Every structure is written in C-alpha cells, then in structure tokens.
Structure 1
Amino acid sequence: MPQVGFIGLGDMGGPIATHLIDAGIDVTAFDLERERIEALVDAGATPADSASDAVRSADVVILSLPGPDAVNAVVDEIESAIESETILVDTTTSTPLTTERIAERLNARGADVIGAPISGGKMGAQDGTLSVMVGGDRSLFEACRPLFETFATDVFYVGAGPGDGHTAKLLNNYLSYTTLLATSEAVVLGDIAGLNRELLVDVFNASTGRSSASEEKLPEQILSGDYDTGFPLDLTEKDLRLFTQFGEECDAPLMLGSVVRYLVGYARSHQGDDADMTRVYDFVEAMMVRK
C-alpha cells in the first residue's frame, strides 16, 4: 500500500482519510485546524506540522480543499517539498484550468497530477459511497483506483486530461443545483394550486420529472424539515461561479447556467451564507407565495 499525505480534513476530507486508514493505508494528515488533525490521529493517522511536512516521503498526496484558491496556495507551499514520481490527487471542487496548470508545474519536478473530484455529499463521505470523476493519465488512474475504492462506490475515468474530472464535476453540480431549483418551483406551484406536496413528489418520482432533488432532497430534507445536507449556500454559489467561469473559458455562452447562478446568489442573500443549500426551496416559496 502507498504512503499517503492528506491535506484538508473537513467534512469531506476527514471521512475520506478515515476510510483510507481503515483500509490499512498509512496516512500522514494536515489541516489548518489542529483539532481535525487530532481527530484523525485518534483514527490512526500520523500528524504533520505543515502541508509540506505531509507530502515528504508520500507516494500519493491527496488534497480536499475549499476551492481553487486554496489549491493554488497549498501547491505553492508544497511544490519544493514534493518528491519525484509522487502522484498528487486533487479531490477539490476546482476548475479544469487550475488542475492543468498545477500539473504543468509539478510535472516539471517529476511529479504527476490527476484531478479526482467527488460527489455524494457529507453523508456519502461518511458512508464511503461517493462517486469519483478522474481525469489524467490512465496508468495513474489505475494506480490510484484502490485508494478511491476505499471511499467510493462509483469510480469513473472520464478523460486523459488532468482537468477532465473537474469538468465532469462542474457539469454534475450545475445539473444538481438546477434540478433543485426547478423541482422546488414545481412543488411550490403545485402547493399553491392545492395539491399535496408529498403526493406530488411521489408523482414526479414515478414519472419523467424525477431527479436527485425529487428522490432525496425534497422528501428527506425539505418536506421533512431537516434542511441538513451539510452543504451551505455560499459553497453552492461558489460552485456555480466556477461553472460559469468555465463556460467563459470555453467561450461558450451559458443561457440557463448564468440564471441559476444568480438565483442561488439571491437565495444566499435571502437565507444567509451558512444556510443549507436546500433552503433554496424557502427562497423560491417566499418569491412565489403572495401573503
């Protein structure tokens, strides 16, 4: 088993690193919050004093960070410490261009980079049922597949470019957020028209209107009153900003994507940065229901 250096132990990174440890993999862990490191040490990890310390002697370095700015900052720090033939795996929701530029930098040092963003949320990370979208050299993908399979049930090789996985992740997130908005609007309108919300969701799920929003977020979070996917609106808007930025980089006008981004931005302003993403429903309802 390879020696893994793991940087970023938040809601996603902490559980992923724990699954690696449970599989018998040696993990050296670092996070800016010391208590997160200590929690992983209790699970069996070796603590690192810095990001650079975490990558020394690592065969594979895994990043799980808030976004591309954090990825660039960490790579700036570890670039001189990372060793030749090390594989850096970025699971962060980032941009394809960020990953490609990091690959160019680290390739010059003899290290390799693959983008492997994840989907499935906090519960998927805890349960080890994430999906992983991997871009990069196929041989690197195969070398890292056993690591992915410790925390994911679906592992996809999507392309040879280091940024290809991040392309797939941005597209997936866009669809997820769009269907949440659209399904919320449909359910609120049905409610206004006098239909039972729970029954309407059942109809969607038995028909062509079904989606992850109707199958999971509406019945399990919104209609139950939980509103606790563990993913806040500020990160939702951040992901959509990255998606529209990617569209601009591709010189592809996004007709619906820009509207979705702005609507989520309005919901964030209405509900607050830390409000769960499913609070989009409350925003939609407030806009549609005339008191």
Structure 2
Amino acid sequence: MNRKKKKHKLSSVKKKSVKRDIKPPFAIDSEITKALRYHQSGQLQKAEEIYKKILRINPNHPDSLHLLGVIASQVGKIDIAVNLINKAIQNNPKNPAFYNNLGNVIKEQGKLDEAITCYQKALELKPDYAEACNNLGSTFKEQGELDEAITCYQKALELKPDYAEAYNNLGSAFKEQGELNEAISCCQKALELKPDLPEAYNNMGNAFKDQSKLTDAILCYQKALEIKPDFSEVYNNMGTAFQGQGKSTDAVSCYKKALEIKPDYVSAYYNLGNAFQEQGEFNEAISYYQKTLELRPDY
C-alpha cells in the first residue's frame, strides 16, 4: 500500500513538472522579442497579433500597449495610438520612449504644445535621448521657433554625432533662417552619413533654389525621387524650379505628378494655377485657384 501511494505521489509530481514546462516564466519576453522582429521588418499584422496575444494574458503589459500604439500610429489610427500609449504610461510612467512616441502621435494631431511637454518629459527621464531632442527641435520649428529648434538639433548631434536626420533637420532650419551655405553643408553631412536620405536631397535642393542655382536644385530633386519616387513635395518643389527656368510645361507635369500622389496638396494646386496663368491658359488657371480655395479658403 505504501509503495502504491509513493508511486502515485511521484506520478503527480511528474505531471505538475510537465505543466510548468509548457509555460516558462519568460514566455512574454520571448514573444515580445519575436513581435519586435516582425515590427521592425514591416510585418505589422504579425507583430500586432503577438502584442494582442500578450495583452490577453496581461492586459496592462506596458511594452505591448506602447508598441501596439506605435503600430496604430503607423497605420493612421492616431486617436487609438494616443489611448494605447497613455495606458502604457499609466502602467510604467518611467519609460522615456513612451513619452517620446506619445509626443510623435500628439504632434500628428496638431497639438504642438502638448507634444513639446511629452518630449521634455522624455528628456527629463533620459537627458541623453538624442531622438527626443531631434523631435523637440522639429516641433519648435513647426511653431516657427527656429532658434530653439536649432539648439535642439545641435544638442541631438552632440549626443549622437552620426545622426543623419538631425543634420538634415538642422539644414532645413538654417534654410528657413536664410543661412543657405550652412543649410547646404548640413544636408551634405547628412548624406555622407546616410546616402539614401531623400529628405536631405530635397532640403539641399530648396537651399540651392533660394540661391537661384536652379540646375543644381533640380539635380537634387531628381536624386530624391530616385530614392523615393512617391515624394510629392519634391515634385512640387521641382516644378517651382522648372518654372523659375521658364519651363512651364515641365513645371505643369511636376505639379500634376505631385497631385496624383497627394490629391489634397494645396500648394501644388496653387502652383499649377500660376503655371497655367504664365502659359496664358486663364480658364485652367482659375479652375486650379478655385480648387486651392476649396481646400483652404484662407490660402
């Protein structure tokens, strides 16, 4: 009898051990790692499925909430993104990346002051956070606070000297201030670090255009489009450069291409109206000016 009882007890222990092995204690960590690989490779649906699976096990898992919010922002679901990242912060208020990405999505809502507060909170938690410095600079630039923006970009570059995007943004800010040589130098530095950065070619083209170096500007725009063929802003900018050369037909083609990519592109409608006016096509010009005003009555 005793022997049978002992056997029974040993059998029970074995079964329990097997059960524990099915769900190891770090399963969520390994799932997050797998999801991040999918996320970083652009397989958003697979990543989303894993984040949601984790949240079914632990509804307050901060990393999954945050990363699910990042995916929501990537697919244009900004309100959902804000809610998810806020919930992540409620469950882990000490993670600077959460505040940085909350700033990014709030900025997309046009709430620039709130975005600035988020980036500042991220930097309070992590003073050497170069990406948050860069994002803070871009938000100041959007508000027209160019000196503050430049200070932020320069700080980002102190923290991360090979930060191509920060050099590009610094160049854009210098261009806005009329410091065109500095702007071109920054864009060139960005392209040394990251040769496939179309935004740097675009910004360098804008600086050349402001120097009336239209051929150089057009070459920059063409290079940007080789890298990113659906870059509507570059088509619009290249159109203005062609127009400056008196090539209104080429300009019209560029503006129309910009509008194919971005049908609500107000500036392209307005520039198209100008190009048709230069060609003496006044009815066409009026129709594009009217379309401009439909989209933005105060233009």
Q: For the superposition of Structure 1 and Structure 2, which TM-score range results when normalised by the shorter chain?
A: 0.3 to 0.5
Larger Rg: 1 or 2? 2
Q: Give TM-score, length-normalised by structure 2.
A: 0.32
Q: Give TM-score, length-normalised by structure 1.
A: 0.33
**Higher helix share goes to which structure?**
2
**Higher strand share goes to which structure?**
1
